[in-house]
Amino acid sequence: MGRGRQKAKHTKIARELKYDTYNVNFSALERELGHHEGGEDAYVDKWADEYADDEDDAATGSYQRQQA
């Protein structure tokens, strides 16, 4: 595609984004993002059990440096 056609396409898309109004379903977006009213206030890290923290290892003394 030549530069003229490419620029025309980008201009068309930019106009659509600027001037068209889109109906956004905020309740569906809220469900998808996982926001819950009231329920859990604390953040739950689903990967917390997978990896040990460096600070925890250093505090217990079990952290060993690999020698090069």
12, two tokens:
């068309």
pLDDT of residue 56: 57
Top pLDDT among 35 and 19 is at: 19
| Helix residue spans in the chain (DSSP H) | 3-19, 26-33, 54-60
**CA torsion sign, 10 to 11 to 12 to 15?**
positive
Residues 37-46 pLDDT 10s: 555 556 777 7
Question: What are the sequence ranges of the domains in the chain?
Answer: 3-60
